[in-house]
Chains A and B, each alone.
Chain A
């Protein structure tokens, strides 16, 4: 089955700096890669996603890049703010119409004011 590795497990950045979280996946058939933000006591919130036919996607301060050949994708957060502090999960989905996500282990991001 699919295996998703996520690094780093914890990340501390100064407010205003950028944060990058990286994930690798094992199954070349995976074609959809969402990112979730989970704040304490809440469920995961979908913040951005990318499909295998696209190399990069951006939404304001967040962006995701995908390298299909290397089987890795990354989340980039620019101009970080204290409210960006949370646990971020990457995931991979195989097959069109499949909603079954394989998650990475998560990255706890702390933005220091």
Chain B
């Protein structure tokens, strides 16, 4: 499976600021996704990061709050904008495998104070 690296692994941020999370994959992948995992909860899909075009967002998530870039087939960023304490979560990058599997990075643990 692909090796997925996320940066930063954790951060503590002030409310009203923005944080950009990076996801780097060691091989080219067609499909990349961003998930959110609120404390003690399950994973919820935020959006599909499309290479060369705008991301596709799931219901309840908007581009102004979670802008996503996907400049090539190995890299994507997720920005959490104008943060509030409710944005405190683990943010996970995911990539699609050759047999339809989904693999995850180690996550970025965000705390907003």
Contacts and interface: CB of A to CB of B under 8 A. Distances in A.
Interface of A: 32, 34, 36, 41-46, 49, 89, 93, 96-101, 103-106
Contacts of A46: 1, 101-103
Contacts of A89: 42-43
A93 B100 contact: yes
B43 A103 contact: yes
Given A100-B45, A106-B42, A43 B102 contact: no
B31 interface: yes
Contacts of B1: 46
B41 interface: yes
B106 A42 contact: yes
With most chain B CB atoms within 10 A of its CB, the pick from A34, A46, A96 is: A46
Nearest to A104: B42
Given A43-B105, A46-B103, A101 B42 contact: no
Nearest to A51: B100
A42 B48 CA distance: 21
Interface in B89-113: 92, 94, 96, 100-107, 109
A45 B103 CA distance: 7
Nearest to A4: B42
A11 to B, nearest CB: 16
8 contacts: A32-B100, A43-B105, A46-B1, A46-B102, A89-B43, A96-B100, A101-B45, A103-B44
Nearest to B59: A1
| Residue from A42, A43, A98 having most chain B Cβ neighbours under 10 A | A43
